[in-house]
Amino acid sequence: MNTILRAEGISKTFSDGGGLSFGTPKQEVRAVDSIDLEIKRGETLALVGESGCGKSTLGRLLLRLIQPSGGKVWYDGTDITALSSEQMRNMRRKLQMVFQDPYGSLSPRRSIAQIIAEPLDAFGMLHSAKERRDKVADLLTQVGLAPAFMDRYPRQFSGGQRQRIGIARAISVEPDFIVADEPVSALDVSVQAQIINLMQDLQQQKGFSFLFIAHDLAVVRHIADRVAVMYLGRIVEIGPKKLIYDLPQHPYTQALLSAAPEPDPDLKSRRIILEGDVPSPTNMPSGCAFRTRCPLARDICSAERPPLREVAPAQWAACHFAKPNPIPLKA
Q: Are 268 and 262 in contact (CB under 8 A)?
A: yes
- The CA distance from 177 to 171, in Å, is 10
- 84: helix, coil or strand? coil
- The CA distance from 276 to 89, in Å, is 45
Where residue 226 falls (left for φ over 0; alpha for ψ -120 to 50; beta otherwise) is beta
Q: Are 210 and 62 in contact (CB under 8 A)?
A: no
Residue 24's pLDDT is 61
Residue 155's pLDDT is 93
Number of other CB atoms surrounding residue 299 within 10 Å: 9
Residue 15's pLDDT is 83
Is this structure's pTM higher than 0.85?
Answer: yes
- The CA distance from 199 to 193, in Å, is 10
pLDDT along the chain (331 residues), means of 10: 92 75 70 95 95 93 95 96 92 93 87 95 91 96 97 94 96 96 89 94 96 90 94 96 93 88 54 78 89 92 94 93 64 41
Residues 6+ apart with CB under 8 A from 324: 311, 312
